[in-house]
Amino acid sequence: MSTHFYKYQGAGNDFILLDNRDLSFKYTDKETVSQLCNRRFGIGADGMMLLQNHSAFDFEMLYFNADGNLGSMCGNGGRCIVAFAKHLGIIDTETNFLAVDGPHYAKISEKGNWVDLQMIDIDSISNDGVAYVLNTGSPHYVAEVKDLENFDVFKFGSEIRNNETYKKEGINVNFVEDLGDHLFVRTFERGVEDETYACGTGVTAVALAMARQNNNTGHVNTPVKVLGGKLNINFDYDGQRFRNVFLCGPAEQVFEGDFRV
């Protein structure tokens, strides 16, 4: 069976996308997905998504981690699938779609290469020592560090993700350095089990955690630099709850092709 695929990236976070509105692609077993995402023996990606029909929404997003397991919400993946939906002619400049963490609204530029994705509202942030823990559609650990450019993200991220507290369910581990006019963020992602060039739910978690730490209330706009480029997170914060949370950034098609299972 030959299947047509598209490769998209959002700030270096890359994904295999399939138009599965006809439900013809049924090979969602862990081994097949993992092989397709493998960078040496497959197409190579941080994850794979299926775009499928839904009676109450423009489309449904089904996300798989690079290890082949069904994933939680992926922010940059969500932005990329919105760009994909525009490419397919399903949407124009706005959309409401369904993901694993619920409905999402998004708007996209006329050229289709910039997407503002509304994330879920956040009511609570907890602490693990001096670090923050919160769920922005996926679970995240946020720790502030110095000299992040030279920090061993793989070593320390892997240790935290696999410690006794988080090993069973897994957690994404974000390290942040506040550079004044922007935040610099690097993330170790569960499911990929490595550092990625960007993590959308991760930078969202970081922006919210830092706003709480610095007591930045009102309408907050947070520029973020990641290894793969620049993102922007804006939201309303009343000192307790986060509302109207948007993850904004580029989403671009890289190439398309066919594979056989």
Is 199 annotated in the active site? yes
Same domain, 155 and 215: yes
pTM: 0.96
Same domain, 171 and 231: yes
193 has pLDDT over 90: yes
Same domain, 156 and 223: yes
Is 80 annotated in the active site? no
Closest residue by Cα to residue 241 from 156, 145, 124: 124
What pLDDT, in 10s, does the model give residues 13-50?
999 999 999 999 999 999 999 999 999 999 999 999 99
What pLDDT, in 10s, does the model give residues 108-121?
999 999 999 999 99
Same domain, 141 and 193: yes
Same domain, 104 and 145: no
The single-letter code of the amino acid at 88 is: L
Same domain, 237 and 136: yes
Number of structural domains, the chain? 2
Rounded to 10°, the helix 200-214/75-87 angle is: 130
What is the three-class DSSP state of 245? strand
CB contact at 8 A, 134 and 126:
yes
CB contact at 8 A, 230 and 107:
no
Same domain, 94 and 205: no
Rounded Cα distance, 261 and 69, in Å: 18
The CATH number of whichever domain residue 145 belongs to comes to 3.10.310.10
Q: Which residues contact 46 (CB under 8 A, 6 or more apart)?
A: 13, 14, 15, 37, 66, 189, 192, 196
Same domain, 182 and 212: yes
Same domain, 76 and 140: no
Same domain, 48 and 136: no
Provide the pLDDT confidence category of residue 1 given band limits of 50, 70 and 90. confident
Mean pLDDT of the chain: 97
Same domain, 166 and 200: yes
Same domain, 143 and 107: no
Q: State what percent of residues in the chain have pLDDT above 90.
A: 99
Cα torsion 119, 121, 123, 127 to 10°: value is: 10
Rounded Cα distance, 96 and 104, in Å: 6
What pLDDT, in 10s, does the model give residues 232-254?
999 999 999 999 999 999 999 99
Cβ of 135: how many Cβ atoms within 10 Å? 18
Host domain of residue 21: 2-119+251-260
CB contact at 8 A, 100 and 73:
yes
Q: Which entry of 37, 80, 199, 248 is annotated as an active-site residue?
A: 199
